[in-house]
């Protein structure tokens, strides 16, 4: 990869335009956080990057390659959802290997990648358990593991911690920061949690009604929010 770019990206559902011309530059290995009120288009934007939602107009590129019409499985992007449905009848090992098996990867390669993800996520002791025998935090780690085994260039997270209790959220936030360091990949992360945004992000993108209101480092937005709306989201006193 060498950078992910959005140029005048728009999305309409019927006559309703929900993404209204977004320009964005994301560098390799950046941890980018999207924040903004409910309904402003965060999930839609993420789903368009993942290829789960068609781009109505504008351009998505990764490196020099136009991605608009590339199959989701070929984009080098893996998405972790808020409601991470694991297969209840499969073990952790099988859950993590499933997509690779589906893609026809050889058995030893799958085993190696699952072991690697389990080490990174400290799930090694739990590989033979089923989801019903795991805590919420452990299940969330398995969901992340399913993305890691695919060795994506870009991870997309859509409010991955919002179903966890406060204590676990703090723990997982630290885990995510460590994960980003270890994997050295690009992460785009949606949250409505100001503390998550401020502590995890290299770059925060504040969205409002289908547009980028402001983007910058946490410090830039905190010190110099362009208006009250941004200040409110960042928790800046301005
Ligand atoms: P956020 O994730 O920021 O809460 P969403 O991206 O889910 O916002 O939604 C943005 C807007 O697009 C909302 O008004 C929502 O109702 C609308 N929307 C999302 N998906 C669809 C869809 N499949 N069909 C019609 N409208 C949609
Ligand atoms: Mg959403």
Query: Is the CB–ligand 1 distance for residue 22 below 6 Å?
Result: no
Residues 98 and 104: their CA atoms lie apart, in Å, by: 10
Query: Is the CB–ligand 1 distance for residue 13 below 6 Å?
Result: yes
Q: Which protein residues have a CB closer than 5 Å to ligand 2 (ion)?
A: 43
Is pLDDT larger for residue 136 or for residue 83?
136
Whether ipTM exceeds 0.90: yes
Write the residue with the smallest CA distance to atom 25 of ligand 1. 13
How many angstroms does the Cα of residue 42 sit away from the middle of ligand 1? 8
Residues 7 and 39: their CA atoms lie apart, in Å, by: 21
pLDDT, tens digit, 9 for 90 and up, residues 153-198: 999 999 988 877 888 888 888 888 998 998 899 999 999 888 899 9
CB atoms within 10 A of CB 15: 5
For residue 83, pLDDT beyond 70? no
Are 150 and 72 contacting, i.e. CB atoms less than 8 angstroms apart? Answer: no
Global pTM reads 0.92
pLDDT, tens digit, 9 for 90 and up, residues 115-135: 999 998 889 999 999 999 998
How many angstroms does the Cα of residue 13 sit away from the middle of ligand 1? 9
Is pLDDT larger for residue 99 or for residue 45?
45
Can you read off the two tokens belonging to residue 226?
Answer: 């362009």
Query: Is the CB–ligand 1 distance for residue 205 below 6 Å?
Result: no
Is pLDDT larger for residue 224 or for residue 161?
224
**φ, ψ for residue 8 (rounded to 5)?**
45, 45
Query: Is the CB–ligand 1 distance for residue 41 below 6 Å?
Result: yes
Cα dist from 187 to 1, 4, 13, 106, 202, whole Å:
13, 11, 27, 27, 10
Are 48 and 41 contacting, i.e. CB atoms less than 8 angstroms apart? Answer: no
For residue 238, pLDDT beyond 70? no
pLDDT, tens digit, 9 for 90 and up, residues 23-76: 999 999 999 999 999 999 999 999 999 999 999 999 999 999 999 999 998 999
Residues 97 and 91: their CA atoms lie apart, in Å, by: 10
Sign of CA dihedral 178, 184, 189, 193: positive
């Amino acid at each position: 990869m060498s950078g992910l770019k959005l140029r005048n990206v728009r999305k309409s559902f019927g006559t309703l335009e929900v993404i209204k011309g977004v320009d964005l530059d994301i560098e390799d290995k950046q941890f980018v956080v999207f924040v903004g009120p409910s309904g402003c288009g965060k999930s839609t934007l993420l789903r368009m990057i993942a290829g789960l939602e068609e781009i109505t107009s504008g351009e998505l590129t990764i490196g020099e390659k136009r991605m608009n019409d590339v199959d989701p499985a070929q984009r080098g992007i893996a998405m972790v959802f808020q409601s991470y449905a694991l297969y209840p009848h499969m073990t952790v090992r099988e859950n993590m290997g499933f997509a690779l098996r589906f893609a026809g990867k050889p058995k030893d390669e799958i085993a190696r990648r699952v072991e690697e993800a389990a080490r990174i996520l400290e799930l090694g002791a739990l590989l033979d358990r089923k989801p019903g025998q795991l805590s919420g935090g452990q299940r969330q780690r398995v969901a992340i593991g399913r993305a890691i085994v695919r060795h994506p260039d870009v991870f997309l997270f859509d409010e991955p911690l919002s179903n966890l209790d406060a204590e676990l959220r703090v723990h997982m936030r630290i885990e995510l920061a460590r994960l980003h360091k270890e994997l050295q990949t690009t992460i785009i992360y949606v949250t409505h949690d100001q503390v998550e945004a401020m502590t995890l992000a290299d770059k925060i993108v504040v969205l409002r009604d289908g547009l980028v209101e402001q983007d910058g480092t946490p410090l830039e937005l905190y010190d110099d929010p362009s208006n009250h709306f941004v200040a409110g989201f960042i928790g800046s006193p301005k």
